[in-house]
Chains A and B, each alone.
Chain A
Amino acid sequence: MIAFTVNGNKVRVDVAPDTPLLWVLRDTVGLTGTKYGCGIAQCGACTVHLDGEPIRSCTTPVSQAAGRQVLTIEGLSRNNSHPVQKAWIAEDVPQCGYCQSGQIMTTVALLAKIKNPSDAEIDEALAGNICRCGTYNGVRRAVHRAAKLMGA
């Protein structure tokens, strides 16, 4: 049994310790907002926070989460009230939407570190998040908008 916290709720899972956190979240815990895109930490669709740090859950064994806090897209807010979600809605960023959980989770972590990031800082922070629909310019606009909403 491996115990950790997901979005403030304690969970205990009976899985092989080398199982990637991604699949534990999706198949065992039942939170499917975190996405599988590559399985090798190349695309960022699986980004969640582990004790506040953005990580690639597809290559993070669940054993590393033991006793720690995991935050997923579902835990950001109950009603899209997180400023990053608000900014995303205001800019109507998503197209297919599949990569957006990862883009948003990376952005939340970025804004916790840098209150008002420049375009270059945004590019660097989000370099690991692939979007095939080409929403990158919308993501950039939404990051700036979210920074403003958060009082930067």
Chain B
Amino acid sequence: MKRTVNESRRAFLKATAAAGGGLLIAFRIPGALRFAEAATASSAQVNAFVKIGTDNIVTVVIGQSEMGQGVWTSIPMMLAEELEADWSKIRVEQGGVDPAFANPRYVGFRAQGGFQGTGGSSSVRNVGVNVRKAGAAARQMLITAAAQGWGVNEEECYAEKNMVIHRPSGKKLSYGSLAEKAAKVPLPKYVPLKNPQDFKIIGKSLPLLDTPSKVSGKTVYGIDVKVPGMLVATVAQCPVFGGKAASFNADKAKAIKGVRHVVQISSGIAVVADDFWSAKKGRDALEITWDEGPLAKVSQADLFKSFAELSQKPGAVRRNDGDVEKALKEAAKKIEAVYEVPFVAHVCMEPMNATAQWRGDSVEIWAPTQAQSWTQAAVAKHTGLPPEKIKINTTFLGGGFGRRLYWDFAIDAVETSKAVGAPVKVIWTREDDIQHDFYRPASYNVLAAGLDEKGMPVAWKHRIVGTSILQYFPPFSHLLRKDGMDPTSVGGAGDIFPYNVPNVYVDYTLHNPGVPSGFWRSVGNSQNAFIMESFMDELAAAARKDAFEYRLQLLKNPRDKGVLELAAHKAKWGSPLPAGVYRGIAEHFSYNSYCAQVAEVSVGRDGKAKVHRIVAAADPGWVVHPERFKAQIESGILYGLSGALFGEITIKNGRVEQSNFDNYPVPRMSDMPKIEVYILQGEGEQGGAGEPGVPSASPAVANAIFAATGKRIRKLPVRAEDLRTA
């Protein structure tokens, strides 16, 4: 747990005097390439981790994106903890793009100065340690400054609530009064971080700092950005993926009052107006002839037919323990099944949008983005501007879920602003959002398992044929193996195999005619946990064993077992339930957190499944903000249910058939089960919060539906017509 400030050879902290007086601590990565050169002295002043003002106010500057997961509070808590700050003196500021905020999770990019982005449930567990180091260094410098001023030994001084105190004399000085002097103190070489037992702030569920502005309507999301002279645009995109406008007639659009420009950009035809509604009316009036391209012939049924054909042949191998074919042949019993998962959309409540102001030799962007660095790099590539000329202001995000790791909406704004010579806010309609997403991959899965005489599995074979996430994410293209293996699409299916099965084989065949696939909260884990944990339930049923006991016997890692036992215990697994209500259980490890769930479900005679309650147990190591951690697990559960019980994107003639909430339903309040979340604090590295709640939700529910109806859900989403009995 003990980490030092400057232990890493690659990274170091930098302390300077703040522009307006006071101490400023930034994180620097020497040897970083072009990307880092943007970090001049002036940007360092903006992008410090912490600024301590002469007014005794501690400003925490965060590089992470706030999308509901709570970084606006948890990151300051981690800093305040090490700084010994007075929580009431903490203020929060959103930082720009800077190597200071590089996310250590994206280790592959350290050589380029690191990448700043919010994904992979990484803010607290990966970025947090840098923040803590900055806080610890600042505290030590303030203590040094005080000790020097008093002419006493540093060891006689300690810090508490924005004060340095000289223990023997009781003399005190506030951080504000010490800040300027502290800025001249050399950065300490070694400052140990606190041990968890000494935490005063971390571990408390403090009121969230961003709540008040969210209940007053004052929070500025991307869609709320206002820039002087700004116009508003909306873009007509070809309904078929990969299609382009062959020609268009803008006469009728330009006749709409308020419409100023109609311009062609990479993604389609942008109608630029004084306000959104005029732009939308203009867009509706456009006459466009689309060149739909080769995808216009692609439909859902053909896609799954191709998947099924490809599943006859071996794919790229993800895991190969023992000899699965031999074990299957010799097994006492063989179980086989096919599972299918559809494309699903993210559907953030705030539709995609961005604002840009093109200034000829530079551009400024305001965006609800999870991917500051990747957006900056993409805009640089697109415009030829050097990265340091691309300023990105991160707004609050009305949901992210992986959709805002992409930058398509930012490119729209940059291109449109450049074309019309004015600042432009581009707003996607909900229809655009649903029809031009990067969908959770669709896949076709062939499973086979062999059981021994006692019913225990001796062989597990999982063949996945599906679309690829990495194919649509250039920054990670190097991770897409030459043989077509996409470790993200296969995520959770074989990278870690939690059960004690001697012969395990997992392979993958990439197939996609061109439907954009992407990171959907918990990525591969969401669909693959559904498949694995449902099939594991099939094995338990075939062995005539209790689904909980069977898993408990087979799980290898005591932390997997720990959450499974806790969830079962809290849900009173095995005890009687009201008539018609049945339980299902599932467990999955992702983002370094373990999460088990027990679902209580009834199925009506009309076939409708009702989830009454979910009891979850999660082990993320240790947590910073317990209530927000629980809220994130609860949030993940509902997101998982939205994919299992509601969501399905289907493709017809190369276009998405769904368009809005009327035909792409999502859970509403009456669909929300009671949810209980229990935290287990295991040993080891910290785990994530935003995603680990997702994966085990859908299999727990599907397994409960099996318990209720005897029907196994092998195709998502769950359909009432398949379960109807009357």
Contact = CB atoms under 8 A, between A and B. Distances in A.
Interface of A: 15-16, 19-20, 23, 26-28, 30-40, 42-43, 45, 72-74, 76-77, 80, 85, 88-89, 92-101, 104, 122-124, 126-140
A97 B66 CA distance: 10
B212 interface: yes
A26 to B, nearest CB: 7
Contacts of B427: 36
B214 A136 contact: no
B670 interface: yes
Contact of B396 (A20, A27, A97): A97
A129 B671 CA distance: 12
Given A16-B257, A23-B275, A27-B277, A104 B660 contact: no
> Considering residues A43, A85, A132, which has the most beta carbons from chain B within 10 angstroms of its beta carbon?
A132
B610 to A, nearest CB: 13
A78 B141 CA distance: 41
Interface stretch (B196-204, B219-227, B449-457, B461-469): B219-227
Contact of A35 (B257, B347, B349, B627): B349
27 contacts: A27-B276, A31-B217, A32-B223, A35-B223, A35-B349, A35-B350, A35-B398, A37-B350, A37-B430, A45-B349, A73-B216, A80-B212, A80-B216, A88-B211, A89-B215, A92-B631, A94-B68, A97-B398, A98-B349, A98-B350, A98-B398, A126-B669, A127-B669, A128-B668, A129-B669, A130-B668, A134-B636
A127 B430 contact: no
B662 A40 contact: yes
Contacts of B638: 133-134, 136
A122 B668 CA distance: 12
Interface string B635-646: 111110010000
B67 interface: yes
Contacts of A31: 217
A9 to B, nearest CB: 15
B669 A139 contact: yes
Contacts of A98: 221, 348-350, 398-399
A45 B351 CA distance: 12
B69 interface: yes
B568 interface: no
Contacts of B401: 132
B599 interface: no
Contacts of A23: 275-277
A32 B217 contact: yes
Contacts of A131: 349, 669
Contacts of B208: 92, 94
B272 to A, nearest CB: 14
Contacts of B276: 23, 26-27, 36
Interface string B254-267: 00010000000000
B408 interface: no
B351 A37 contact: yes
Tell which of B210, B216, B257, B674 has the most Cβ of chain A within 10 Å: B216
B42 to A, nearest CB: 30
Interface string B162-195: 0000000000000000000000000000000000
Given A33-B217, A74-B217, A95-B69, 18 more contacts: A19-B277, A26-B224, A36-B351, A77-B216, A85-B215, A88-B215, A89-B207, A92-B628, A93-B211, A94-B215, A96-B349, A96-B350, A100-B214, A131-B669, A133-B349, A136-B668, A137-B675, A140-B669
A43 B430 CA distance: 11
Given A92-B207, A95-B635, A97-B214, A123 B429 contact: no
B68 A97 contact: yes
Contact of B215 (A40, A104, A128): A104
Contacts of A127: 668-670
Contacts of A45: 349
A96 B674 contact: no
Interface string B429-463: 11000000000000000000000000000000000
A36 B216 contact: no
A42 to B, nearest CB: 4
Given A38-B430, A40-B660, A40-B662, A94 B214 contact: yes
Contact of B660 (A42, A97, A140): A42
A28 B275 contact: yes
Interface string B670-711: 101011000000000000000000000000000000000000
A77 B674 CA distance: 32
Contacts of A43: 349, 661
A92 B213 CA distance: 12
Contacts of B80: none
Residue from the set A15, A34, A94, A129 with the largest chain B CB neighbour count within 10 Å: A94
A33 B218 contact: yes
Contact of A96 (B67, B224, B277): B67
A107 to B, nearest CB: 11
A72 B217 contact: yes
A98 B221 CA distance: 8
A28 B226 CA distance: 12
- Residue among A39, A97, A104 facing the most chain B CB atoms (10 A cut-off): A97
Contacts of A72: 217
Interface string B393-433: 00011111100000000000000000000000001011000
A130 B664 CA distance: 12
A73 B226 CA distance: 19
Given A123-B670, A133-B68, A136-B638, A42 B216 contact: no
A138 to B, nearest CB: 7
A94 B223 contact: no
Contacts of A134: 634-639, 667, 672
Nearest to B633: A134
A36 B275 contact: no
Contacts of B348: 96, 98, 132
Given A127-B669, A132-B347, A138 B212 contact: no
A126 to B, nearest CB: 5
Given A74-B216, A97-B398, A129-B669, A137 B674 contact: yes
Nearest to A104: B215
Q: Which 4 A-B pairs have the closest CB atoms?
A: A33-B217, A95-B68, A98-B398, A134-B638
A137 B672 contact: yes
B705 to A, nearest CB: 20
B232 interface: yes
A39 B430 contact: yes
Contacts of A15: 277
Nearest to B430: A38
Nearest to B641: A134
Nearest to B277: A23
Interface-central residue, A30, A85, A122, A134, by most chain B CB under 10 Å: A134
